[in-house]
Chains A and B, each alone.
Chain A
Amino acid sequence: MTRGSRVILLIWCLGLGFGTWYATTRAHVETELFRLFPEGTTSTERLLLTELRTGTTGRLILMALEGEDADRLAGTSKQLAAWMRGSGAFRYVGNGEQAWTKEERERLFQYRYVLSPGQQESTFSRDHLHDSLELRLSDLASPLSSMVKELIPADPTGEFMKILQAWTTWTTPARHQGVWFSSDLRRALLLAETQAAGFDMEAQEQLQGKIREAFSRAAGIPNGSSPVQLVMAGPSVIAVEMQQTIQQDVWRLSLCATLLVTTLLLVSYGSATILVLSFLPLMSAIVAGIAAVDLTFGFIHGLTLAFGITLLGVVDDYPIHLFSHLTRESRAPAVMKEIWPTMRLGVVATALGFSALLLSGFPGLSQLGLFAMVGLLTAACVTRWLLPHVVPIGFHATREGVQLALWVDALTRARFIVPLMPVLAVGSFIWSDTPLWEQDIANVSPISTERKERDQTLRNELGVPDVRDLIVVKGPSEEVVLQRSETLALALEPLVGKGELAGYDLAARYLPSRRTQKTRQASLPDRETLERNLAAAMKGLPFKPALFQPFLDATEKAKTQEPVDLQAFNGTALGLKLNSLLFRYEDRWVAVVPLRGVTNRGKFGELLTPWRDQEVSYLDLKEESNRMVTAYRNETLRLLGWGVLSIGLVLLVGLRAPLTVLRVMLPIGSAVVVVTASLHMFGERFSLFHIASFLLVIGLGLDYALFFNRRHGTVAERGRTVYGLVVCSMTTILVFGVLALSQIPVLRTIGMTTALGSLACLVFAALLAEPPGKPPLIEATSSS
């Protein structure tokens, strides 16, 4: 080892040490999907993203207890809910107990004349009062009289009951022993809203673990086998389970792939040292990539990491090229120098191709671009300047691959296949009925159908539909937003009547605008008028003469009462609900109106178009997120185009021969087209994940094609090159082939696309390789 090489080794050790320390302790890994998206261009878009990030929808946990008789399930439900309420980790815990607290009832009763939706001037007319009093008489004659009679003297018109009835828009589940149950009484149901945001995977995972513990205590599982089972659903539960499944799958598959690749490399080179060395560039690349992205963006997204490492798969080829070219006589630094120009061209072109992603407006893609570029360059540097100095002296590949090279040369006679295949492939596109693009993001998601169904069943039983449609009402103040919501409700009511809308939830239903409250106050008669009307209404009815004194007092007081505002409901369950329906956002007030059962979305959207002037907009969340993902995909495609163009330019500069550029680019292009067509034939629809995989395929293809077209002095030299390429390609196919066996659609997609792509690139590049006996095409060997 020379002095210079020792310095290099020291620098690398320090760099890797620092990088590893930084990546493991300082780097902040984010898992929230929407961090990948841009902030949003319109205020509504930003609001939507915020809602998806932090909104109530993401915080819901749906639970079911099953497997025992209803009585025991009810007991377990009560204990579990008690623990959850006491834990402080939930904003709301519902299991059917505690509909309204005494304090809440008192508050509602106090404000009944401004809150009651039925209250108007005619309520206090003689005839209306008479009708109301008759109703109260029948209440008194009913078996429920003992429970309702205390309300009668202060509220003979029944405003309080009208409020409660108007507010129960939600069809609550069946009950047994005071606890929610499915209608067949086989499952006790619970619903909770967590304090932690839905995307906060760590917090959610912990919390779900605690719920399970509390459940086993409540069900008595530790001391004896209890058949009670806990089923959980909801976005955060699904996300946590998904993460666990992915981790398990990735762990299992990586183990399998590592074993295979290790075996392959051991068989190919017969040296454990070489095996260890071949992982150095990839390791260094990952560490450098994480550090670079985190330093630039302040965080690295979990998906960037996963995809980034995938993209870096290409760097595993670099050490393999080096090792394959070592001979008994040669010294590693000299060999490295010899193959470096070819490798350098590949590295620069690929890095430039990936760098196009950097320009993207999407943080996710920019991160990926940076990660891949820094990783590639690091791996290349490590291979160029470190590896040759640490390779054991005297190591050489035992197999020379001469026979392999002859086969490859024979293959070139069939080169016509390369242009022919894409033509056939394009033909299959034209005849295919399968849509090219995956339009529904839900189909790309790794959530299994079984989980989706479980979620849906629980949602139906609990009566909390998955909110897909909502209306957003905005305004400069709480009051304006409430007034606009009230006007909107007038337009929505007929739709509910016609069945075009099953229902909606509205802040103004619980908290009328000041204007409405004032109108209701103004409609209250003065004491003398009311006394007169009441006296007339009581005629012929057996009520005691001074019975309704509290009623007269209450209406008089209500006339001058301060209007109710958001503050009045602080600290109650209703307050929590209101806060999710009406809140301040970016210095403006926003009311969110979740809709249920929109039958015709297109028509509904049109209906609400004229409301735009009033800052009322309709959103289809599914459509909206699909639109964002489509935008993401198109952006990636566009950048991919620029990337390919820049790769072409780099090659042109590096090779100085357009024909050779064609020889290098054509196999890659054909491979992409053929792989796309084959996947398409098997019914695959394309998504972002395919495009990301093709980026890797392009990187791999460049490497193969450049090396195939490299100038080789002797047959033996060519044999070594071909041998190295076959090993490279086989490692890739093994790793990604294993990934293709995954149960998770995304991993399967990446695995299948890359494995097929790698194979196609190798075969096509070999077919188009420069035939022996002609002057070499790449003459850069001695120029470095």
Chain B
Amino acid sequence: MSVAQMSPQSELEAGSTGWNEEQLIESLAKNRQAEVRFEETAYSNLLTQPLKTQGVLRFTPPTRLEKHITAPQDERYLVEGDTVFFENKTKGTKRTLSLHDYPTLRAFIEAFRSTLANDVITLRRFYSVTLQGEPRRWVLVLRPLDQAVQALVESIRFSGERAQIRGIEVLAPDGDRSVMVIATDAP
């Protein structure tokens, strides 16, 4: 399910109940699975139709995050600490780069990594964080603080139910977006 489908009526401001983003992120971390399957759809204004990919996301605290795309091509993106390693088995390419050479990529990755690692402090260094909805059905909106990142990412929206993330949507300022749906069952 995607955030876009969520009804505006459910978007109640949190806080009255004492429920806030710290609590949510903590509960997400507690309830986190080592591995989830996903399906992603990328809408680009360079293209006439969206691109679909699917694969597995893995997170090993505190800093190891892996996105393994299994279809249509086998591609692996592995972030560990400061290093990003990527490999395309179909094309036979491998590359390593440092997140510090690509500050925008760092910001982008921290959106996922800090959220999953229950590291609100790091998350707030890169993003303004707002929580919408209620514990049963919520949306966590991250807006980049850095201008260079703002040029590439307008916002990142995590949506979910209770302590489960169901979808992640990335919006670019030029209207491009990618929508990731996380499978409910374990792979």
Which A residues have a C-beta under 8 Å from some C-beta of B? 96, 99, 135, 137-138, 140-147, 149, 152-153, 174-179, 542-544, 547
Contacts and interface: CB of A to CB of B under 8 A. Distances in A.
Interface stretch (B12-20, B42-50, B117-125): B42-50
26 contacts: A135-B91, A138-B75, A140-B42, A141-B42, A141-B69, A142-B77, A143-B108, A145-B178, A146-B152, A146-B176, A147-B102, A147-B104, A149-B46, A153-B46, A174-B83, A174-B98, A175-B98, A175-B101, A178-B100, A178-B101, A542-B47, A542-B49, A543-B47, A543-B48, A544-B46, A544-B48
Interface in B147-187: 152-153, 170, 172, 176, 178
Contact of A542 (B48, B53, B91, B101): B48
A75 to B, nearest CB: 13
Nearest to B96: A174
A99 B75 CA distance: 26
B63 interface: no
Interface in B19-71: 40, 42, 44-49, 51, 53, 67, 69
A177 B99 CA distance: 8
Contacts of B176: 145-146, 149
B46 A141 contact: no
A176 B75 contact: no
Contacts of A140: 42, 44, 46-47, 51
A149 B69 CA distance: 19
A298 to B, nearest CB: 51
Contact of A149 (B44, B67, B100): B44
B172 A138 contact: no
A135 B93 CA distance: 12
A552 to B, nearest CB: 15
A147 B176 CA distance: 12
A543 B48 CA distance: 6
B73 interface: yes
B105 interface: yes
Contacts of B49: 542
Contacts of B46: 140, 149, 152-153, 543-544, 547
B82 interface: yes
Nearest to A176: B82
A142 B101 contact: no
B88 interface: yes
Nearest to B91: A135
A309 to B, nearest CB: 55
Contacts of A147: 102, 104-105, 152
6 A-B pairs with the lowest CB-CB distances in the bound complex, closest first: A178-B100, A175-B98, A146-B152, A542-B49, A141-B51, A542-B47
Interface of B: 40, 42, 44-49, 51, 53, 67, 69, 73, 75, 77, 82-83, 88, 91, 98, 100-102, 104-105, 108, 152-153, 170, 172, 176, 178
Contacts of B48: 542-544
A457 B53 CA distance: 45
A478 B83 CA distance: 41
A141 B53 CA distance: 7
B77 to A, nearest CB: 6
A99 B47 contact: no
A177 B82 contact: yes
B100 A544 contact: no
A659 B91 CA distance: 91
A156 to B, nearest CB: 10
Contacts of A96: 100
Given A147-B104, A153-B46, 11 more contacts: A96-B100, A140-B42, A141-B53, A141-B69, A146-B172, A152-B46, A174-B98, A177-B82, A178-B98, A178-B101, A542-B49
B108 A542 contact: no
A426 B181 CA distance: 90
Nearest to A144: B105
Nearest to A143: B77
Contacts of A145: 42, 44, 176, 178
A152 to B, nearest CB: 6
Interface centre among A99, A143, A178, A543 (most CB of B within 10 A): A143
A564 B91 CA distance: 32
Interface centre among B82, B104, B176, B178 (most CB of A within 10 A): B82
A143 B170 CA distance: 10
A96 B101 CA distance: 8
A694 B91 CA distance: 70
Contacts of B172: 146
B73 A138 contact: yes
Nearest to B45: A544
B168 to A, nearest CB: 11
A585 B131 CA distance: 68
A176 B100 contact: yes
Contacts of B53: 141
B37 to A, nearest CB: 16
Nearest to A152: B46
A142 B73 CA distance: 10
Contacts of B42: 140-141, 145
A99 B45 contact: no
B47 A544 contact: yes
A135 B75 CA distance: 12
Contacts of A547: 46
Contacts of A137: 47, 51
A544 B48 CA distance: 5
B105 A179 contact: no
A152 B45 CA distance: 12
Nearest to B152: A146
Contacts of A135: 91
A174 B105 CA distance: 17
Contacts of A142: 69, 75, 77
A461 to B, nearest CB: 16
Given A135-B91, A142-B77, A149-B176, A177 B45 contact: no
Given A138-B75, A141-B42, A147-B152, A179 B47 contact: no
Nearest to B75: A142
Contacts of B47: 137, 140, 542-544
Contacts of B88: 138
Given A143-B67, A145-B42, A175 B152 contact: no
A206 B67 CA distance: 52
A389 B69 CA distance: 101
B100 A177 contact: yes
A138 B69 CA distance: 11
Contacts of B153: 146
A542 B152 CA distance: 22
B75 to A, nearest CB: 7
A36 B108 CA distance: 60
A152 B178 CA distance: 18
Contacts of B73: 138
Contacts of B44: 140, 145, 149
B148 to A, nearest CB: 11
B73 to A, nearest CB: 6
A140 B108 CA distance: 16
